Amino acid sequence: MKLTTDQINYIDYVLKKQYTFENFEDLRVELLDHIASDVELKMQSDNMSFDDALPNVLHKWNDEIACDRNSYYNSVPIIVAKLWKKLDWKYNYFVLLLTGILCFGSMPFGREVWITYAMYSIACIGLVLGIYLLNLLRRNQFNTVLSMYAKNKIKLYVGLFAFALILNIGANYSDGDLLSRPALFVVTHTTLVFAVRTIIMRKNIKIENQLLKVI
Amino acid sequence: MKKQQQLYKGSLNTIIMKLLEQQGKMYGYEITQKVKEITQGEMNITEGALYPALHKMEADGFLDVEMDRVDGRIRKYYKLTESGVKETVSRMEELDNFIRNMQTIVNPNLKLDF
């Protein structure tokens, strides 16, 4: 028994509005197909109407598609939060650790100017990556699990990067030397964050191209 | 039954990869149904385990995706990449060894031919 277009659209509406999947188009189309297939089977094997079968199937899915209010990512479906947490482990904590190592490793060279030059070089890379990333996000045509992750707090990171950079230039200017570098941690960290988010957005382009083929 | 599901859990990725190797390309729902069919309902892959596993393998480069419009909706098919094929062979070898070792421990007199 195949669902009608209206019934498929209704499941899509439920996923968007009742289960906050509006901004995760890639995952939503996948779950929509799975839920619709499940509903079709239920209607056929248990002789149920669409109105009875859908709540039955959604109940089974609830632990994955509802929001976990106690989670750090409490406004996204659990299935998305799980993936984002994995990305955090893979990228964010690694980035934080790497920043710590780099900044800690630079401490013995506190009175050497080349560290400040290195910091400004990192800032240049950060600037290029930041502009490239913002451009990728601007051109992004579908909101997907990866693009939303890349977008998450990105304005905050850009703001922090710019603020830290200006602060450091100001400090160097007023001191008349290149010895102070209050922005070292923030600039290094945000540059690495931009690099990671750029990698994620490059992966997202592949998903986007697949979606563009069929939508 | 629940304890049995725990035993299967560690082999989920290998099971998915093996199915994809046999079938060429499959979509999420099809994988759950195929596993249920092959094991005559003994093994049940939950959606909560299936999709994170598929997405992880996709991110690791073992799976490629292809989208198609079927029955008025978009269907996402998964298929093995070149590295996915190699990984499947290596995981199947590991699984074969595991089964052989378990068999030796549980039932030393029975010989298995793979």
Chain B neighbours among A 3-32 (CB < 8 Å)? Answer: 3-5, 8, 26-27, 29-32
On whether any CB of chain B is under 8 Å from the CB of A107, the answer is no
User: Of A105, A101, A123, A118, whose CA–CA distance to A194 is shortest?
Assistant: A123
Residue of A nearest to B73 (CA): A33
**Residue A51: both structure tokens together:** 């109105």
- Is A75 a member of any domain? no
Min Cα distance A110 → chain B (Å) is 40
What is the structure's pLDDT at B112?
59
- Cβ atoms of residues B74 and A214 within 8 Å: yes
Min Cα distance A1 → chain B (Å) is 11
At residue B78 the predicted structure's pLDDT band, cuts being 50, 70 and 90, is very high
Residues on chain A touching B49 (C-beta within 8 angstroms): none
Verify that A54 and A86 share a domain, yes or no. Answer: no
Domains with residue ranges and CATH for chain B: 2-106 (1.10.10.10)
- Under an 8 A CB cutoff, do B74 and A86 touch? no
Verify that A138 and A199 share a domain, yes or no. Answer: yes
What is the structure's pLDDT at B47?
86
DSSP letter assigned to residue B11: T
- Is A184 a member of any domain? yes
Q: Containing domain of residue A36, as a range?
A: 5-65
ipTM of the complex model: 0.85
Query: Which residues, in sequence order, are CB contacts of A47 under 8 Å at separation 6+?
Result: none
- Under an 8 A CB cutoff, do A211 and B67 touch? yes
Residue A136 has pLDDT above 90, yes or no: yes
Distance CA B44, CA A115 (A): 57
- Under an 8 A CB cutoff, do A36 and B56 touch? no
Angle at A108 between CA A103 and CA A110, to 5 degrees: 80
Verify that A106 and A158 share a domain, yes or no. Answer: yes
Verify that A60 and A85 share a domain, yes or no. Answer: no
Residue B9 has pLDDT above 80, yes or no: no
Chain B neighbours among A 42-71 (CB < 8 Å)? Answer: 60-61, 63-64
- Is A158 a member of any domain? yes
Domain count, chain A: 2
User: Could you read off the pLDDT of A155-174 as tens digits, one per residue?
Assistant: 999 999 999 999 999 999 99
User: Could you read off the pLDDT of B90-111 as tens digits, one per residue?
Assistant: 999 998 998 889 888 988 776 6
What is the structure's pLDDT at B111?
62
User: Could you read off the pLDDT of A101-132 as tens digits, one per residue?
Assistant: 999 999 999 889 999 999 999 999 999 999 99
Verify that A55 and A88 share a domain, yes or no. Answer: no
- Is A18 a member of any domain? yes
- Is A113 a member of any domain? yes
Backbone angles phi, psi at B19, to 5 degrees: -60, -40
Verify that A202 and A116 share a domain, yes or no. Answer: yes
User: Could you read off the pLDDT of A172-206 as tens digits, one per residue?
Assistant: 999 999 989 999 999 999 999 999 999 999 989 98
Verify that A85 and A136 share a domain, yes or no. Answer: yes
What is the structure's pLDDT at B114?
55
Distance CA B16, CA B7 (A): 15
* Nearest residue, CB atoms, A34 vs list B47, B67, B69: B47
User: Could you read off the pLDDT of A24-76 as tens digits, one per residue?
Assistant: 999 999 999 999 999 999 999 999 999 999 999 999 999 899 998 888 999 99
Verify that A57 and A15 share a domain, yes or no. Answer: yes
- Cβ atoms of residues B78 and B65 within 8 Å: yes
- Under an 8 A CB cutoff, do B72 and A214 touch? no
At residue B59 the predicted structure's pLDDT band, cuts being 50, 70 and 90, is confident
- Is A98 a member of any domain? yes
Verify that A48 and A150 share a domain, yes or no. Answer: no
At residue B41 the predicted structure's pLDDT band, cuts being 50, 70 and 90, is confident
Q: Which of the residue ranges A10-14, A80-84, B2-6 would you say has the lowest mean pLDDT?
A: B2-6
- Is A73 a member of any domain? no
DSSP class per residue in A116-145: HHHHHHHHHHHHHHHHHHHHHHHH--S--H
What is the structure's pLDDT at B2?
57
Verify that A57 and A86 share a domain, yes or no. Answer: no
At residue B44 the predicted structure's pLDDT band, cuts being 50, 70 and 90, is confident
Verify that A58 and A121 share a domain, yes or no. Answer: no
Distance CA A24, CA A30 (A): 10
Residues on chain B touching A210 (C-beta within 8 angstroms): 65-67, 76
- Is A71 a member of any domain? no
Residues on chain A touching B56 (C-beta within 8 angstroms): 86
At residue A83 the predicted structure's pLDDT band, cuts being 50, 70 and 90, is confident
Residue B5 has pLDDT above 80, yes or no: no
Min Cα distance A112 → chain B (Å) is 41
- Under an 8 A CB cutoff, do B74 and A64 touch? no
Distance CA A51, CA A204 (A): 35
Domain stop point among A17, A36, A65: A65
Residue B113 has pLDDT above 70, yes or no: no
Min Cα distance B98 → chain A (Å) is 28
Verify that A29 and A86 share a domain, yes or no. Answer: no
For chain B, the average pLDDT equals 88
Distance CA A24, CA A77 (A): 10
Residue B3 has pLDDT above 80, yes or no: no
Backbone angles phi, psi at A214, to 5 degrees: -110, -20
What is the structure's pLDDT at B16?
95
